[in-house]
Chains A and B, each alone.
Chain A
Amino acid sequence: MKDFMGFTRRNILIYFKDILAVFFSLLTSIIVFVLYLLFLKGTFVDALTGTMKGLENIVSSQDIEMFVNGILLSGILGSSMITVPYTCLQTIVKDREAGVDIDICSTPLKRWKIVLSYFTASSLCAFIMTSLILTVGLITLGFMGDLHMTAGSVLASYGAVLLGSLSSTALFMMILLLFKSSSTSTAFFGILTAASGFVIGAYIPLSRFSDGVQSFCNLFPASHITALIRNLLLSGISDKIDSSIGGLDNGAFISAVKETFSFNAVAFGKTFSSSGSVIYVLIIALVSILAMTYLYKKTYMRR
């Protein structure tokens, strides 16, 4: 067990000791945050107020603002769940390029422990970073107003973040095992950084896209997890808004808002419930883990 723990510790240290790597792994999240301050917040608020004709005097502007803030937090979390594990997993490619993998394989450390350790370290890094973002986000929002979250929702949010970290890591590990050079994996990261904000609907709600694009985006576990987190973070404030309307619209406003901001992933004409999303993500993670075990054997056994 010491060998596994030691190698995992090493992989975690490699990520956290490289300040630039940490920064770039959070770049999309930072971009989402900056864009939010610049114009996204206004756009989202306008979109909401546009759909609440006749309810302007009933729904408080502070509740609308808190709702939009929650959308922002889910977007930041969703994008970091993509970029942090990918950055951490780039160690695999760098190790191969520098010949470090030969050094590792020349020790008694078993091959399956090596692959499991890369996976564990990356999942942990992603969980640590996203939990940190979630914690800071919740505290900040707590100072700004009330999200009306229950303790259970808060706890479940951390659970969703953990599931997101595990599934993204599993998926990216499978992809990164195919790359042979850092330049290729870095180029892919560039694409990922640019695309991740769109894929999870941080910049523009996925519902605004065509069915085909929505289906494509919702193939990624991170999109499902982001939708799940949106539900967990915003169910309290949604209920609060709905109850302030007092049944005048039979819940139509909140239903429309949830649809607009993609509270449920939609792919190939099927709307996923939260539990459906969890099952989908678990299946993707399991398939990825099996695939990466096979790929790792191919790549590292050198037989």
Chain B
Amino acid sequence: MNIIEVRNLTKDYKGKRAVDSISFDVEEGELFAFLGENGAGKSTTINMLCTVLAKTTGSAFIAGKELGKEDDEIRKAIGIVFQNSVLDRKLSVKENLLTRGSYYGLSAREVKERIEPFKERFELDEIWNRRYEKLSGGQRRRVDIVRALINDPKILFLDEPTTGLDPKSRRLVWDHIDYLRREHGMTIFLTTHYMEETRDSDHVVILDKGNIIAKGTPAELKSRYAHSKLVWYTAQSPDSENLISRISNEFAYDADHYNIVTDDDLTEFIYQNKKHIRDYELIKGSMDDVFLTLTGKEFA
């Protein structure tokens, strides 16, 4: 069942087309990734879906509610973790969460009840009365996520949630996202700068200059737009190159190994030639390769 349905969504902004007639669906409970460089239209799309930016044309249904007509209902059904922290720096974690909860009509008691299941997992007790400005980057992100969960949303929008975080904090944020999907069946709509973060997504949409240039599962995208690579450690010889030429003309010798790129089934090739190919690495095509193929640009 689709929890988000977007059809021909367009946004013109200051005379420019920021998002150009995009259409996609997000299934309930899935991790949906939105990829693209800065200025590709990711945040504009998220801001439209979150009702803070009006669409120019097109339609969207979020949690069964029509964008532009049932915005208040949509706002109740979504939680957002913004790219930059938007909580009040001078207020404590407790004050921030209680006031934010009140915007949804929740009393202090109700907010505390909503937060309770997440308190231990997000280690809120130790920072509960601490000012937001005194928290580390990772701690702030944890609070940002809990703030987005206050209204018990069906969909959690995460706009580049790990940007600027150290690797450990980034890993922890992902642990929390996995937990929310696994334990709470929450739909996660993600935009990210890190290609490897799309690895576990159910579906990925790649946006470039306001247009969708590819969509599918990571496996589909990789098989369509990325090539696998075989690194064969052996001495350079005409016999080896004859063998390689059976599957690919795209190869080169570096230092002590051949780099071989092909669309053919490398596993089968290695198996058939196991007497010759003993020391090797098989590298699957990555989402970086997908992005490079589609846009001709390295992902930032």
A106 to B52, CA, bound (A): 6
B75 within 8 A of A: yes
Given A18-B90, A108-B72, A303-B54, residue A99 in contact with residue B95 (CB < 8 A): no
Q: Separation in Å of the B98 CB from the closest CB of chain A?
A: 8
User: Among B102-110, B165-173, B213-221, which stretch is in contact with chain A?
Assistant: B102-110
Mask of A92-112 contacts with B, CB within 8 angstroms, 1/0: 000000111011111111000
A17 within 8 A of B: yes
Residues from chain B with a CB closer than 8 A to the CB of A109 are: 103
Instruction: Contact check, B76 vs A108: say whether CB atoms are below 8 A apart.
Output: yes
A270 within 8 A of B: no
Residues of A in contact (CB 8 Å), total: 25
Q: Separation in Å of the B218 CB from the closest CB of chain A?
A: 29
Residues from chain A with a CB closer than 8 A to the CB of B82 are: 99, 102-103
Q: A105's contact among B52, B87, B102, by CB below 8 Å, is which?
A: B52
A132 within 8 A of B: no
Given A106-B75, A302-B54, residue A3 in contact with residue B86 (CB < 8 A): no
Mask of B67-100 contacts with A, CB within 8 angstroms, 1/0: 0000010011010101010111011000100111
Q: B99's contact among A10, A98, A99, A105, by CB below 8 Å, is which?
A: A10
A7 within 8 A of B: yes
A2 within 8 A of B: yes
A5 within 8 A of B: yes
A301 to B53, CA, bound (A): 8
Residues from chain B with a CB closer than 8 A to the CB of A102 are: 47, 52, 82, 86
Q: B52's contact among A7, A13, A302, by CB below 8 Å, is which?
A: A302
A136 within 8 A of B: no
Query: A residues engaging B (CB < 8 A)?
Result: 2-3, 5-7, 9-10, 13-14, 17-18, 98-100, 102-109, 301-303
Query: Can you name 24 A-B pairs with beta carbons within 8 Å?
Result: A2-B102, A2-B106, A2-B107, A3-B104, A3-B105, A6-B103, A7-B99, A7-B102, A7-B103, A10-B91, A13-B90, A14-B90, A102-B52, A103-B80, A103-B100, A105-B51, A105-B52, A107-B151, A108-B72, A108-B75, A108-B103, A108-B105, A109-B103, A301-B54
Given contacts A13-B88, A17-B91, 14 further A-B contacts (CB under 8 A): A6-B101, A13-B95, A99-B84, A100-B87, A105-B52, A106-B51, A106-B52, A107-B75, A107-B104, A108-B72, A108-B76, A108-B104, A108-B105, A302-B53
